[in-house]
Amino acid sequence: MSEPLLRADHVTRKFPLRGGMFARDWFSAVDGVSLEIFPGETVAVVGESGSGKSTLGRMLLGLMPPTTGTVSFRGTPLPSLRGAARRKFRREIQVVFQDTGASLNPRKNIGDSVALPLRWNLGLGRAEAATRAAVLLDQVGLPAEQFARRLPHALSGGQRQRVGIARALASNPSLVVADEPVSALDVSVRAQVLRLMRQLQAERGLAYLFITHDLGVVRAIADRVVVMQTGRVVEHGSADAVLSAPRHDYTRALLAATPVPVPP
C-alpha cells in the first residue's frame, strides 16, 4: 500500500473550561484519534455537532496544533515542515467550507477569487491565472463568460459551492478537506455537487476527507468511515460495512435518525 498523504497519530486537543483564572479543568474536544488518508480515496468523519470532527479537521489542516499526538504530511510531522516543504503542504491540502457566503470575499468577482490561489500558490502571472481560473470555472459547470465577473451575492448557494470547489482545485491539490460542504444546500443541488466532486476525483485522482453529520452523503461518496462521539472514534471501517452492519450503538442511533426517502 502507498504512503498515506495525511496521518494523525493519537491526536488530542484540549481546551480549558471556564471557571476562573486558576481553573485546572480541561475539556477534550478530540481524544486520542488516529486515522490515515491515502491517495485517491474518500474518508468520511461522521458525528453529531460537538463530536469533535471539525476540531479534528482543523488539526489535519494545520490550523490548530494538537495538544498531544502528531499530524504528518507524507510522513513528515507538520511542525517540522519549513520553507518549500510548508508551501507544498499548503498547496496540496485544500479546503471547501460549509459557509459559501462567508468563505468568499463579497467585493471580489468569482474569477478573481479563483485566480488568487493560482497566483499565490503556483506563482502565475495575472493574465495566466485569469485564463486558468476561467478553465476551472468551466470545469465546475460555471461558464466563465457568464459567471467570472459576478460577485458572490449574485450566485445561488449551489453555485457558490461550485466556486469554492474550483478555488480549492486551483492549487492542484492531492487532498481536499470538505467540512459539511453540502449541508446548507437543497437536496437536488446537493446531489449535483456530490456528482461533480466524484467526477473531479476520478479525473484528478483526488483524495477527500468529508466532515459531515449526514449519512446520506457518506453513502453517496465515502470509501471509509470514521464515526466520532464526544471526541473519540467509536467505529471505523469501509462505508459498506459500517452502514450495513454497524457495531456500535452510537452508529446505529445515527443511522436510525437518518431520514429515509419516501417514494412518490
Class at the top of the CATH hierarchy for domain 6-104+173-256: alpha beta
Cα→Cα distances 155→101, 104, 117, Å: 10, 11, 21
| φ and ψ at residue 129, rounded to 5 degrees | -60, -40
In tens, the pLDDT along 43-83 reads 999 998 889 999 999 999 999 999 999 999 999 999 999 99
CB contact at 8 A, 166 and 141 = no
Query: Any idea where the domains of the chain sit in the sequence?
Result: 6-104+173-256
Q: Of 142, 52, 163, which Cα lies nearest the Cα of 97?
A: 163
- Mean pLDDT calculated for residue range 170-197: 84
pTM, two decimals, is: 0.87
Report the alpha-carbon distance of residue 217 to residue 212 in Å, rounded: 8
Report the alpha-carbon distance of residue 183 to residue 203 in Å, rounded: 24
CA quadruple 86, 5, 117, 164: dihedral sign:
negative
The pLDDT value recorded for residue 20 is 53
In tens, the pLDDT along 131-159 reads 999 999 998 889 999 999 999 999 988 88
What is the C-alpha R_g of the chain?
Answer: 19
Report the alpha-carbon distance of residue 144 to residue 148 in Å, rounded: 5
Give percent of the chain above pLDDT 90. 60
Report the alpha-carbon distance of residue 225 to residue 253 in Å, rounded: 15
Cα→Cα distances 3→80, 140, 155, 173, 223, Å: 18, 30, 40, 16, 17
Q: Mean pLDDT lowest for which of 154-168, 184-198, 203-217?
A: 184-198
Number of H helices, E strands in the chain: 10, 10
264: pLDDT strictly greater than 70 = no
Could you tell me the three cell numbers for 61? 489542516
The pLDDT value recorded for residue 162 is 87
- What one-character-per-residue DSSP string does 77-111 give? EGGG--HHHHHHHHHHEEEE-S-TTTTS-TTS-HH
The pLDDT value recorded for residue 1 is 56
